[in-house]
């Protein structure tokens, strides 16, 4: 299965694709040249909003706006995009926010990424009371792979340099995490897990950064399907489309030499592919 290029956006580090069911449009970001984008797949019309600081991830809000996890803190952007309000300042020093999304109850989870790539950050949670809490203590270097099972009772998380994805029991009432266990061990294949998404059957789709592919794993960790991309560094998938059966995939152009760009000129673009099992809409932030 091969994905096709929907938009040759040439993002340095395209990330955090989020499908808007109400708008039938795809939001995504570029971390390196910080900007927020909205793409209409039907017309290929692209809207762009430059960001004043590095932006690691986005999530929808219940009123139709967006959460923006920027270096200086987590912001709320209103529905018209004309006003931004700082909800909480960033607790990170020498690091920035990275992969983030809401759990099935609308609590926003976001991980950190250290500037030195040293394992010195953690995973954080923003609740409706607008207080950011450290939800997962650990020496995390590049937080990624965050996703939940359809019932919300299992949480997935990866620290990219470890080449592993872990699963946790997740208490949907209290957001407590327990029973850490190895879900995917990608060390032998030297595959680096980046962003991920879960379909309605509970399959875990993860972008393998540097491997030019997106892989579907069963809830038991069985490798089911691989989607090849004409871009070396896929970063994150998102389900969308009218029936939620289109996978949108962001990619990166950073750290490609001239030969690699000659072979993969579409690096940094947004790709899409039709799949048989639909995904779930992103739960909006409940705060």
Catalytically annotated residues: 194
- The half-sphere exposure of 108 on its side-chain side, counting CA atoms within 13 A, is 31
State whether residue 161 is helix, strand or coil: helix
Tokens of 150: 């359809």
Residue 242 neighbours by CB under 8 Å, 6+ apart: 24
Structure tokens at 71: 């270096």
Dihedral sign, CA of 232, 236, 241, 243?
positive
Query: CA dihedral in degrees (256, 258, 262, 268; nearest 10)?
Result: 30
Q: Which of 284, 269, 149 is nearest to 205 (CA)?
A: 149
- Phi and psi angles of residue 28, each rounded to the nearest 5 degrees, phi first: -160, 175
Question: Residues 7, 44: contact at Cβ < 8 Å?
Answer: yes
Q: How far apart are CA 273 and CA 263, in angstroms?
A: 21
Strand 143-148 to 132-140 pairing: unpaired
Report yes or no: 244 and 24 within 8 Å, Cβ to Cβ. Answer: no
Burial of 158 (0-12, 13-18, 19+ CB in 10 A): buried
d(CA 120, CA 112): 9
């Amino acid at each position: 299965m091969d994905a096709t290029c929907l938009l040759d956006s040439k993002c340095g580090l395209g990330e955090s694709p989020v499908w808007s069911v109400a708008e039938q449009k795809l939001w995504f970001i570029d971390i390196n040249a910080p900007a927020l984008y909205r793409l209409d797949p039907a017309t290929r019309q692209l809207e762009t909003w430059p960001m004043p600081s590095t932006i690691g991830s986005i999530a929808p809000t219940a009123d139709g706006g967006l959460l923006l996890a920027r270096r200086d803190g987590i912001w709320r952007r209103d529905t018209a995009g004309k006003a931004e309000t700082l909800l909480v300042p960033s607790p990170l020093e020498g690091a920035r926010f990275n992969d983030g999304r809401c759990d099935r109850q609308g609590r926003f989870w976001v991980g950190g990424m250290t500037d030195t790539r040293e394992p010195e950050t953690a995973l954080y949670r923003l609740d409706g009371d607008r207080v950011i809490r450290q939800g997962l203590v650990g020496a995390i270097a590049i937080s990624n792979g965050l996703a939940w099972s359809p019932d919300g009772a299992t949480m997935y998380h990866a620290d990219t340099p470890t080449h592993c994805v872990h699963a946790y029991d997740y208490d949907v009432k209290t957001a407590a995490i327990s029973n850490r266990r190895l879900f995917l061990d990608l060390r032998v294949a030297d595959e680096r897990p980046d962003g991920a998404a879960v379909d309605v059957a509970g399959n875990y789709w993860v972008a393998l950064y540097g491997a030019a592919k997106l892989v579907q794993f069963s809830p038991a960790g069985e490798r089911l399907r691989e989607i090849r991309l004409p871009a070396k560094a896929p970063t994150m998938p998102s389900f969308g489309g009218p029936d939620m059966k289109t996978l949108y995939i962001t990619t990166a152009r950073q750290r490609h030499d001239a030969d690699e760009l000659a072979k993969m000129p579409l690096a940094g673009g947004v790709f899409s592919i039709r799949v048989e099992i639909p995904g779930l809409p992103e739960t909006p932030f409940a705060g």
